[in-house]
Structures are given as C-alpha cells and as structure tokens.
Structure 1
C-alpha cells in the first residue's frame, strides 16, 4: 500500500491509461511531481531558464532550494538545483522515506 498518491500530470494534463481512466503516481514519484509543481507555481523556474549571466541564477537557486526543503517529505540539506544542459534545469533531493528523487524543471516550462 502506498503512503502518497496523486494524479499523474504531464504537460498540464491528466495522463490516461488505455481505458481512458486517470493514472496515478505513488510515493517517490508523487513527491517528485509535487516538488516540480510547487516550483512551477512560483514562477521562479522561468527566471532560471531566461537568465543569461545577470546574477539572478544563484539567488533563484537558493530560493528554489528553500522552497523544496519546506516539503516535510524532503530531507533538509539534500536539495540541489542543477543546469544539466543549457536551459535544462533539474531538481535533486532525498525523501525521508523513499530515497532520492530527480525531476526536470526546465523541460516543464
């Protein structure tokens, strides 16, 4: 049995199975999705992608780390926000009960 469950959302839409029923994410995947949605809701992800050496990036990363660490399911001190390719940002963190998570935040914009 899962502790956490959430509708699977992709590109702003509910993901449906072959029978057109909604699909769900559980535990680690649900937490990762919640983290990305929290980041996107702030609008800070747009600053990361649009910044081109103006110095905003470091401040934005700190704000995003603090936001992710507010989630009680995330282990404090484990959050990293990294640009893996130009304009492609990822969030990495460890959950308290389910191990590491990682999700793209740049590709979701």
Structure 2
C-alpha cells in the first residue's frame, strides 16, 4: 500500500501504458516528480538555463535547494543540485520515509528519474 500516489507525468503529458491507460507513481517517485514540478512551476529552472553567470547560477542553486527543502517529505540538509555533463540538471535529496531521490530536469521539462 502506497502512502503517496499520483499520475505519472513526463514532458507535460500523462504517461500511458500499452492499453492506453494512465500510469501511476507511488511514494518516492511521487515525491521526485513533485520536486521537479515545483522547480519548473517556480521558474527557477528557466533561470539556470537562461543565465549561466556563476553568481546567478549559485543563487539559483540556493533558491532551488530552499524550495526543495520546503517540502515536508524531504529531510532538510540533504538537497543537492548539480549540472550534468549532458546539460540536464539533477536534484538529489533524501526523503524522510522512502530513501534517496534523484531526478533530472531541463529548463522546461521533467525528463524522468
């Protein structure tokens, strides 16, 4: 039994199974998806992509970290934001009940866990 359950959203669309039924996420994956959606909805992802000055990027990392830590399901002090070599951004954090999450995003989309 899952504590958290939500539709699986990828690139703004509901993910469907082979029978064209919506798929669902549970617990840790729901939290990871919610974290990315919060970042995208806040507009902070666009700042990372749009302005690559180191001072702006550091400030945006801090703002993303604080935003993610504001989620009551995330253990404070465990959030890390990193840019991957492929241009994606990654968020790493520890949930209170479900272990570690790691999820990537770009300036406008959630790319999956």
Work out whether the TM-score is over 0.5.
Answer: yes
Deviation at 1:87, TM superposition (A): 3.0
Partner of residue 76, structure 1: 76
The gaps in structure 2 that reach 5 residues or longer are none
Deviation at 1:54, TM superposition (A): 5.1
Deviation at 1:86, TM superposition (A): 5.7
Deviation at 1:88, TM superposition (A): 1.7
Deviates more, 1:41-50 or 1:70-79: 41-50
Aligned-partner Cα distance in 2 for 1:52–1:84 = 14
Partner of residue 16, structure 1: 16
TM-score scaled to structure 2, two decimals?
A: 0.90
How many aligned residue pairs are there? 109
1:37-82 Cα deviation digits (max 9, x unpaired): 0000011111112222252000000000000001000000000000
Alignment of 1:32-51 (within 5 A): 32-51=32-51
Root-mean-square deviation (CA), in Å?
Answer: 1.4
TM-score scaled to structure 1, two decimals?
A: 0.93
The gaps in structure 1 that reach 5 residues or longer are none
* RCO comparison, higher one (Cα < 8 Å, 6+): 2
